[in-house]
């Protein structure tokens, strides 16, 4: 059963439903009807179907150390979390030079099954898959951002500035479905140490995983 579930997850993650900021893209973009069927209304404002975090999880979070946003810092491996989320889109000034690509060099994803997210890879290594309580889609961490470094904040990719602004900043309950790879994260970051936030993420990864120190100096 576990093998079947894993293969199903892999099939979903690699299904080629992506979105591009370019209107000429041939990639599949969710239509307004798709979004409406996904639990939201597009008129006048899209309604994201997000549920309130459980009182038990909120209570447990209150006793944890906090990051600079006063959000709980979790031990790696804890799958159920209260997380601060923000939103970004590929037409923002600080992302426009990357277009519709994520930090791994592949296309940002936004479908009714899988969507992209950015995070500090020393908190959520690349490839981490999670769900937001109340939402049916899987999110995969395939991007990062300098403003996220040193925090547990997750940046949710949105295909337009309108949806980005509608998401805004909100605290949600997240369940990690599958952890990503610190090894792959270190391999990618080791090639980008000219950037301060990449150096910081890489240093935090090697503090947790000293065995990856050799990867970090390549």
Task: Count Cβ atoms below 10 Å from residue 22 Cβ, excluding itself.
Answer: 12
- Residue with the larger pLDDT of the pair 3 and 99: 99
CATH code for residues 52-179: 2.40.40.10
Residue 20: pLDDT over 50: no
What's residue 28's pLDDT? 39
186-204 pLDDT tens trace = 999 999 999 999 999 999 9
Residue 7: pLDDT over 60: no
Q: Domain ranges in the chain?
A: 52-179, 181-218
Please, which residues bridge with residue 110 across strands?
115
Give residues with Cβ within 8 angstroms of 71, minimum separation 6: 82, 83, 84, 151, 152, 153, 171
Residue 215: pLDDT over 90: no
CA distance 135 to 155: 16
- Residue with the larger pLDDT of the pair 45 and 42: 45
* Polymer length in residues for the chain: 218
Q: Nearest Cα to 120, choosing from 86, 158, 89, 149?
A: 149
Phi-psi region of 86 (alpha: psi -120 to 50; beta: other; left: phi over 0): beta
* Measured distance between the N- and C-terminal CA atoms of the chain, rounded to whole angstroms: 39
CA distance 171 to 86: 9
* pTM for this entry: 0.79
Q: pLDDT class for 36, splitting at 50, 70, 90?
A: very low
CA distance 127 to 142: 6
Residue 47: pLDDT over 90: no
Phi, psi of 64 (to 5 degrees): -90, 155
CA distance 163 to 182: 31
**Cis peptide, bond prior to residue 44, ω within 30 of zero:** yes
């Amino acid at each position: 059963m576990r093998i079947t579930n894993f293969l199903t997850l892999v099939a979903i993650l690699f299904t080629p439903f992506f979105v591009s900021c370019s209107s000429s893209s041939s990639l599949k973009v969710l239509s307004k009807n798709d979004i409406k069927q996904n639990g939201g209304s597009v008129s006048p404002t899209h309604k994201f179907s997000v549920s309130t975090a459980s009182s038990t999880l909120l209570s447990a979070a209150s006793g944890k150390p906090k990051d600079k946003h006063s959000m709980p810092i979790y031990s790696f491996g804890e799958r159920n979390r209260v997380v601060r989320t923000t939103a970004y889109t590929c037409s923002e000034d600080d992302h426009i030079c990357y277009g519709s690509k994520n930090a791994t060099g592949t296309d940002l994803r936004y479908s009714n099954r899988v969507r992209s997210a950015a995070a500090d890879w020393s908190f959520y290594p690349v490839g981490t898959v999670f769900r937001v309580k109340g939402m049916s889609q899987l999110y995969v961490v395939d991007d990062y951002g300098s403003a996220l470094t040193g925090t547990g904040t997750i940046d949710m990719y949105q295909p337009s500035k309108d949806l980005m602004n509608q998401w805004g900043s909100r605290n949600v309950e997240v369940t990690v479905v599958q952890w990503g790879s610190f090894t792959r994260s270190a391999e990618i970051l080791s090639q980008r140490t000219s950037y301060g936030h990449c150096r910081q993420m890489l240093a935090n990864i090697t503090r947790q995983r000293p065995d990856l120190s050799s990867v970090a100096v390549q």
